[in-house]
Structure 1
């Protein structure tokens, strides 16, 4: 099971993913800072989903662009949990994670993230071309209709949601990335 953490903006999100199924998600925009609410949200979500810490096989965390303080809090939390639970960690860029919602679409995709003071962080993808950087540095290029077919083939070969992340081997602590 994968724990995902997103703190790159004013909105804080945590989610649990099992195989390709969203098991639980908590998204909140509150006046409290991420440092005050992130750990209680993770604990609350694990409790409500009846998931034990020992069931977590990895941690995915947003690496930006976005709020420096928010990213720092999310990354420190993810790194601490990864170390404490002895599971692998993977960083996911925010624009690419947004673009993945449209894999298989033949139009151009433009992701925009508020950068404050009238600025935005932008990512433009032609023909749904999205590059997913895997934990070992491989790249998976997807374009248009080929994207959907390639994604289906990849899922048949490797059903894990991050295509390259696999649950840890209990015989080899700390392993989890190919």
Structure 2
């Protein structure tokens, strides 16, 4: 038995979900850039109040661990760790790209056959994306990486597989990758805390919790601050 609060702030979506025994009870989210700090705690309060659940009834807090937006990750992980410290609850970390893949696999509107590969993409500015490849069962085929997308990107995989590209990094790559007939795009994908559910429940059952004192988000790249125009 598990009642888990799930937090997703690694992308433009700011999303929270409540799941019991790997089933989503309710969620609240907004897909607007740079709004995470403003709404995350309000959304958590509203979600729990609407569901009739108190903070102390939670069994764990799960957070989308990255890669993704540096600021978004800091907000989500800081919120999750703060709740865990205050409530004495365990922290569960779920890699963002893996959660995105499971979100597509479990979506009723997407039919991924056994030969199709899934490619979640998170915008990392310019033509760079955070990405990985998964098969239709959610098994990792290619490790997470920060890739600059060019005409021959994924060429070895596209020869033998259809690849479904999705996420806020996929749109800007469409013009480059769509030349291959095996490149498919899911245009209406919005990341969600509901996509953490399957892995969060499994990690809770396995006791795969993070060390609160030392846990940090999976940034993948060092943060580089831009200079403000004068």
**Cα deviations by residue, 1:50-96 (Å, 9 ceiling, x for unpaired):** 11111100000011111101100100000000111111001111111
Cα offset, 1:99, TM superposition:
1.5
**Cα deviations by residue, 1:7-52 (Å, 9 ceiling, x for unpaired):** 0112100000011221110111346631111101100111111111
Taking the aligned partners of 1:30 and 1:164, their CA distance within structure 2 comes to 29
| TM-aligned CA distance change 1:31 to 1:130, over 3 Å | closer
Task: Check the 8 A contact 1:160/1:166 in 2, yes or no.
Answer: no
Alignment equivalent of 2:10, drawn from 3, 8, 11:
8
Q: Number of aligned pairs?
A: 143
For structure 1, which runs of at least 5 residues remain unmatched after alignment? 132-158, 168-175
Taking the aligned partners of 2:51 and 2:130, their CA distance within structure 1 comes to 34
Task: Check the 8 A contact 1:2/1:56 in 2, yes or no.
Answer: yes
Q: Which is higher, the Rg of structure 1 or of structure 2? A: 2
Quick check: 70-79 or 91-100, which moved more?
A: 91-100
Aligned to 1:116: 125
RMSD between superposed Cα atoms in Å: 2.5
For structure 2, which runs of at least 5 residues remain unmatched after alignment? 107-111, 141-197, 210-230
Runs of 4+ that moved beyond 4 A: none
Taking the aligned partners of 1:72 and 1:126, their CA distance within structure 2 comes to 30
The SS at the match of 1:162 is: helix
| TM-aligned CA distance change 1:19 to 1:113, over 3 Å | same
Quick check: 33-42 or 98-107, which moved more?
A: 98-107
Cα offset, 1:126, TM superposition:
3.7
State yes or no: 1:74 paired with 2:76.
yes
Taking the aligned partners of 2:8 and 2:138, their CA distance within structure 1 comes to 23
Alignment equivalent of 2:137, drawn from 128, 132, 140:
128
TM-score after normalising by structure 1: 0.71
Aligned to 2:102: 100
Higher RCO (C-alpha 8 Å, min separation 6)? 2
